[in-house]
Amino acid sequence: MNGSTVSEFVFLDFSGSRSALGFLFTLVVTCYTIVVLGNLLIMVTVWTDAKLFQSPMYFFLANLSLLDISLGSVAAPKLLTDVLNGGGTISYAGCMAQILTFHLFAAVEMLLLSVMAYDRYVAICQPLKYATIMDQQRCLSLLILSWTGGLIHGVFQTVVTAKLPLCGPNVLDNFFCDITQVMKLSCSDIYISELLLLISDTLVTFPCFLTLLLSYVVILVTLCTRFGKGGGKALSTCGSHLMVVFLFYGPIGFVYFKPASNNQVDKMAGVFYTVVTPALNPLIYTLRNQEVKGAMGRLKNKCKHFMLFQQE
């Protein structure tokens, strides 16, 4: 472990009354259940509906649902166990695994949201070329590129953190292994490590944010000129995507790009972007999307017919 004397970490988790911790447990259980079941429902709906499956937008939506399940599973199960036990620990290897998976899935989601913004830009601003530009091969290439970029980012963040010698104390004031908390335990100069991590974050975040910004500026300008000619439906679809983008970037920006403040507030923001946001995404896309709701209705009828066939 590169000279580290720390073999495990202790989470401080949340402080508060029994009723407050009970509310937190209920919130996380409810949200995590929605994360798993809601996103699985979207994935199954898209995969079993030929029309949706052949659409690039819904192809990316199904993959976004898979990412939400993965991101939501990084910290939520352990948080629930630790709340029940009144505290928790994690091994050094487990901590590095959490750092790897969190930054991997978060980076892939950033990249995929940018790809979805580009897809909407092509669909709305270049509709005649849409089928040619966003063909099956291009969609698969963009998905592979997103996962490759996320993997490189996650591995780099983990390697830089793992190389730091940690001399203790081994207490992390959080409910999961956050890089900023782990780096505070280092007994060496962390300036170079912080710089490398900042560069890595910037190389992922800035291009993604720029793509989202430019795509939606052009989309909104285009929609303003054709509202009433199918623009309302396009605006509704983009509105759902923008809500997901805001819910994803907002809490992360609040924690990582602001001056130090109350750790309890930061922890609640952490719960929001690791558990609550992945739970809201399926609700946003299903409640605001008539095509998804229609496909879910067809899936429900298929299941009914199958059950009736089994009973005969």
Q: Give the full edge-to-edge strand order of the sheet including 171-172.
A: 88-91, 8-11, 171-172
pLDDT at 255: 62
pLDDT at 307: 67
Render the chain in DSSP notation, one character per residue.
-TT----EEEE----S-HHHHHHHHHHHHHHHHHHHHHHHHHHHHHHH-HHHHTSHHHHHHHHHHHHHHHHHHHHHHHHHHHHHHTSEEEEHHHHHHHHHHHHHHHHHHHHHHHHHHHHHHHHHHSGGGHHHHT-HHHHHHHHHHHHHHHHHHHHHHHHHHHTS-B-S--EESSSS--HHHHHTTBSS--HHHHHHHHHHHHHHHHHHHHHHHHHHHHHHHHHHHHTTTTHHHHHHHHHHHHHHHHHHHHHHHHHHSS----HHHHHHHHHIIIIIHHHHHHHHHHHS-HHHHHHHHHHHHHHHHHHHHHH-
pLDDT at 209: 87
pLDDT at 245: 82
How do the domains of the chain map onto residue ranges?
A: 8-303
pLDDT at 300: 81
8-303, CATH topology level: Rhopdopsin 7-helix transmembrane proteins (1.20.1070)
pLDDT at 1: 44
Full pLDDT tens readout for the chain, 312 residues: 445 578 889 988 676 667 878 888 999 999 999 999 999 999 999 988 888 888 998 999 999 999 999 999 999 999 999 888 877 899 999 999 999 999 999 999 999 999 999 998 999 889 899 999 999 999 999 999 999 999 999 999 999 999 998 887 888 888 899 898 899 888 888 999 999 999 998 999 889 989 988 988 888 888 777 655 555 666 666 777 778 888 777 777 666 665 555 567 777 878 888 888 888 888 887 766 778 878 888 888 877 766 666 665
pLDDT at 91: 93
